[in-house]
Amino acid sequence: MAQALNSALRDALRADPAVHVLGEDVGALGGVFRITDGLTAEFGADRCLDTPLAEAGILGTAIGMAMYGLRPVVEMQFDAFAYPALEQLFSHVAKMRNRTAGRLPLPITVRIPYGGGIGGVEHHSDASEAYYTSTPGLHVVTPATVADAYGLLRASIASDDPVVFLEPKRLYWGKAEFDPAAPVEPIGRAVLRRTGTSAVLITYGPSLPVCLEAAEAAKAEGWDLAVLDLRTLVPFDDETVCRVVRSLGRAVVVHEATGFGGTGAEIAARVTERCFHHLAAPVLRVTGFDIPYPPPMLEHHHLPGVDRILDAVARLQWEA
Amino acid sequence: MTVLDHRHHTAVPGWLPGATAPRSDPAPLLPDASPVRVLGTPELEKYDPALLRELYRRLVVGRRYNQQATTLTKQGRLAVYPASTGQEACQVAAALALGEQDWLFPSYRDTLAVVSRGVDPLEALTLLRGNAHTGYDPLATRTAPLCTPLATQAPHAVGLAHAARLGGDPVVALALLGDGGTSEGDFHEALNFAAVLNAPVVFLVQNNGYAISVPLTAQSAAPTLAHKAVGYGIPGRLVDGNDAPAVHSVLTEAVERARTGGGPTLVEALTYRVEAHTNADDATRYRDDTEVAAWREHDPVLLMERHLRRIGLLDDALVQESAEEAEALAARMRAEFHADAELDPMALFAHVYAEPTPQLREQAAQLSAELAAEAEVQHP
Ligand SMILES: Cc1ncc(C[n+]2csc(CCOP(=O)(O)OP(=O)(O)O)c2C)c(N)n1
């Protein structure tokens, strides 16, 4: 996936001179995850810029660049290190179009590696998507496959609206062949990764592989689970989600971020509002606990795994 | 006198209308052109021999601590270790410049300063080992948790120092930062608050040349980082960060100044990170070996050894004692870390709030049931 993201940035830089990459260590080092590897060498430091170490400064500067017609792609080094930039993101990036009655759209892509499962210490594993999804004006995109990493990043950079592009860092090292020219579903569309007849697991980003594994394991219990990958949290694909839920009547939402006030709560509420009469059971959520992200040696107790997903499936009131 | 007159009564002739006179002549605030040095100068002989020997001993033990911790990352026994190898003089002096009642606000690279402050060397590594966020009791040694988000500890140091002063306590706070951290907004806000509040706080920037891959030239256009103090109206000092007695004396002076009501100081220590940023970093991508080799010649431990020997303060007995202490510590680290840590998953729910919420109690019960079921499978 890291390679696909790198290709997406390179191709975007080649295709449009307005595209500029900026962030901490994105130059000679190629980023701590090597997503920007080789970009400064190919495009020069003006197009792929090592900035001073200041997230508010990076994003604030990107705003000015976008006001002048550029398409900045900003790298935040780790999920929690985007927090100093939240003021710029919430107060300006998200609102500029609205504040200026459409005169100053900001086509900025903010790439943020997010989530746990890589043994990172404090502040290196937060899943903070709920902050972004509850901020109107931002698109929130999170790929789970190699092809989507490429396609969704290209689409995000091309978008005339700001996009928070959440990269599931534990999937960076996942490998799969992909063809950059192959069409991918656009931003805003959910994709069924596995069909099934019993119930659907609704998920995104880092939790997709876990859900696919759970669906495989569920066969032993006699359950045939579908797995739906949301791909984009904002805009939300009500249509696809509701179509699948209505046809199966049972759904479990899975994500690793904390559950209380989390994205899963929004999804469960929407599904219930729209599909109530089709539901054979309440929409359940399987999420991380409502605790600060744990130290690495304990993180596996926090992250939803196959067993916790199957337990939820078992609670879907099968007899009713 | 009109309101405007009143407002501008301090204006000096010839000054722009509306502007008030500068609070003081900036010249005394400017840092020295070259860094303060003690080793290799006649000054050295004026220092307390006991202090110099103590600095030496701590440097040697600190170097070994850094090496052993780095080895433990290679063996997978520590999740990560940002070594302060090459920066030991700053770390050791930072701790020694403070009194027991003072507070230290360290950053993630400052484990050694924390240890030098009296925190148990193994407890200081808990965060980096991966079993808990902060292993040590911050109150026991007045040492804040190792801080990972850059520069965010600096305003905390200001607040604590301010509160202590309000309480009439002669407490000084020392915040440790890296060169990269000086670009963050929090650093600048902390300096400004400290200056305006005249808070008894000292900022020590360990300028080790790089913020991960980014060299200082791409970080700041200031002549030195110490110059950043001037705009806030506080003094900036520049010191050779590999010269332990020099760092100690500059910091001690700043701490005393703060303690006696003189306000904050920004100290920039020029040093070098001879290892990679952490064990996960590849330093060959952004710097060449000749640069590293030159700094290895200017090594804090080597310098201390050479100059203390020259003035007859370093004898074989001290060398051997220090080496033995260092080896004993390394052996203790190996023994402790090669055994798997005892961990209680239920600790995840402790200390989220003073009183767990009903939801957390529910989740704790869920995990507890899961653990019991797991145990049942393993030992039916
Ligand atoms: C707010 C924030 N942004 C990014 C990071 C990621 N990061 C960790 S260390 C580091 C470089 C810090 O350099 P410097 O301040 O010079 O300290 P040094 O590592 O050299 O001791 C970066 C960018 C972070 N920890 N916090």
pLDDT at B24: 60
Is ligand 1 within 6 A of the CB of residue B86? no
Q: How many interface pairs between A and B have CB atoms less than 8 angstroms apart?
A: 112
Residue of A25, A53, A83, A87 to mutate, ligand 1, most atoms within 8 A of C-beta: A53
- Take residue B7 and report the two structure tokens written for it: 């407002």
Q: Is B312 exposed, middle or buried, given 0-12, 13-18 or 19+ CB atoms closer than 10 A?
A: exposed
Dihedral (C-alpha) B277, B279, B285, B290: value to the nearest 10 degrees? 70
pLDDT at A320: 54
State whether A295 and B133 contact (CB < 8 Å): yes
Between β-strands A225-229 and A48-50, what pairing exists: parallel, antiparallel or unpaired?
unpaired
First to last CA, chain B: 92
B9 band by pLDDT with thresholds 50, 70 and 90: very low
Mean pLDDT, range A274-285, rounded to an integer: 98
| Residue tagged 């200056």 (tokens) | B195
pLDDT digits (tens, 9 = 90+) for B130-179: 999 999 999 999 999 999 999 999 999 999 999 999 999 999 999 999 99
- Take residue B295 and report the two structure tokens written for it: 């700094």
A309, amino acid identity: I
Residues B153 and B109: their CA atoms lie apart, in Å, by: 13
Number of Cβ within a 10 Å radius of residue B139 = 7
State whether B211 and A24 contact (CB < 8 Å): yes
What is chain A's percent helix, strand, coil content, to nearest 5? 40, 20, 40
Q: Are A33 and A45 in contact (CB under 8 A)?
A: no
Would you say the C-alpha torsion B119, B332, B84, B239 has a positive or negative sign? positive
pLDDT of B291 > 90? The answer is yes
Contacts of B186 in chain A (CB under 8 A): 84
Mean pLDDT, range B7-33, rounded to an integer: 59
Contacts of B185 in chain A (CB under 8 A): 54, 56-57, 84
Residues 6+ apart with CB under 8 A from A43: A13
Radius of gyration of chain A (CA): 20
Specify the ligand 1 atom closest to the Cα of B182.
15
Mean pLDDT, range A265-284, rounded to an integer: 98
Across-strand partners of B211?
A: B214
A79 band by pLDDT with thresholds 50, 70 and 90: very high
pLDDT of B5 > 90? The answer is no
Number of Cβ within a 10 Å radius of residue A41 = 12
- Take residue B59 and report the two structure tokens written for it: 């440097």
B21 band by pLDDT with thresholds 50, 70 and 90: low
Q: Is B37 exposed, middle or buried, given 0-12, 13-18 or 19+ CB atoms closer than 10 A?
A: middle
pLDDT at B170: 97
pLDDT at B267: 98
pLDDT of B220 > 90? The answer is yes
pLDDT digits (tens, 9 = 90+) for A175-200: 999 999 999 999 999 999 999 999 99
Kind and range of the H or E run holding A183: none
Q: Complex ipTM, two decimals?
A: 0.94
Residues B222 and A183: their CA atoms lie apart, in Å, by: 49
Q: Are A73 and A21 in contact (CB under 8 A)?
A: yes
Specify the ligand 1 atom closest to the Cα of B84.
21
Q: Are B274 and B29 in contact (CB under 8 A)?
A: no
Nearest CA in chain A to B187: A54
Q: Are B177 and B206 in contact (CB under 8 A)?
A: yes
Report residue A225: phi and psi, to 5°.
Answer: -95, 135
| Closest protein CA for atom 11 of ligand 1 | B211
Is some CB atom of chain B closer than 8 A to the CB atom of A307? yes
pLDDT at B33: 80
pLDDT of A293 > 90? The answer is yes
B11 band by pLDDT with thresholds 50, 70 and 90: very low
Across-strand partners of A251?
A: A200
Mean pLDDT, range B58-67, rounded to an integer: 98
| Closest protein CA for atom 17 of ligand 1 | B178
pLDDT of A107 > 80? The answer is yes
Residues B316 and B318: their CA atoms lie apart, in Å, by: 5
Average pLDDT, chain A: 97
| Residue tagged 């569309």 (tokens) | A189
pLDDT at A212: 98
B2 band by pLDDT with thresholds 50, 70 and 90: very low
CA-nearest of A67, A88, A91, A64 to A76 is A88
A95, amino acid identity: K
* Long-range pairs of B253-260 with CB within 8 A, sequence gap ≥ 24: B254/B97, B254/B202, B255/B97, B255/B98, B255/B99, B255/B102, B255/B172, B255/B174, B255/B202, B258/B161, B258/B172, B258/B199, B258/B200, B258/B201, B258/B202, B259/B170, B259/B172, B259/B200
Residues A314 and B9: their CA atoms lie apart, in Å, by: 79
pLDDT digits (tens, 9 = 90+) for B307-348: 999 999 999 999 999 999 999 999 999 999 999 888 999 999
State whether B211 and A53 contact (CB < 8 Å): yes
pLDDT at B29: 80
Determine if residue A266 is left, alpha or beta; phi over 0 gives left, psi from -120 to 50 gives alpha, anything else beta: alpha
Is ligand 1 within 6 A of the CB of residue B212? yes
B22 band by pLDDT with thresholds 50, 70 and 90: low
Contacts of A86 in chain B (CB under 8 A): none
Give the Å distance between the CA of B184 and the centre of ligand 1. 10
Mean pLDDT, range A63-88, rounded to an integer: 98
Q: Which residues of A are catalytic?
A: 124
Residues B176 and A100: their CA atoms lie apart, in Å, by: 42
B4 band by pLDDT with thresholds 50, 70 and 90: very low
DSSP A243-299: HHHHHHS-EEEEEEEESTTSHHHHHHHHHHHHHGGG-SSPPEEEEE-SSSPPPGGGH
State whether B214 and A30 contact (CB < 8 Å): no
- pTM value is 0.94
Give the Å distance between the CA of A179 and the centre of ligand 1. 36
Is ligand 1 within 6 A of the CB of residue B179? yes
The 3-state DSSP class for residue A191 equals strand
Q: Which residues of B are catalytic?
A: 273, 277, 286
pLDDT of B13 > 80? The answer is no
Is some CB atom of chain B closer than 8 A to the CB atom of A318? no
pLDDT of B208 > 80? The answer is yes
The 3-state DSSP class for residue A204 equals coil
Is some CB atom of chain B closer than 8 A to the CB atom of A289? yes
CA-nearest of A49, A105, A109, A106 to A73 is A109
Give the Å distance between the CA of B350 and the centre of ligand 1. 29
pLDDT of B378 > 90? The answer is no
Specify the ligand 1 atom closest to the Cα of B179.
16
Share above pLDDT 70 across residues of chain B, in percent, rounded to a whole number: 93
Whole-number Cα distances in Å, A263 to A57, B4, B208, B249: 28, 55, 42, 54
Residues B205 and B225: their CA atoms lie apart, in Å, by: 8
Determine if residue A123 is left, alpha or beta; phi over 0 gives left, psi from -120 to 50 gives alpha, anything else beta: left
pLDDT of B7 > 80? The answer is no
To the nearest whole Å, the CA of A177 is away from the closest chain B CA by 27
Q: Is B151 exposed, middle or buried, given 0-12, 13-18 or 19+ CB atoms closer than 10 A?
A: buried
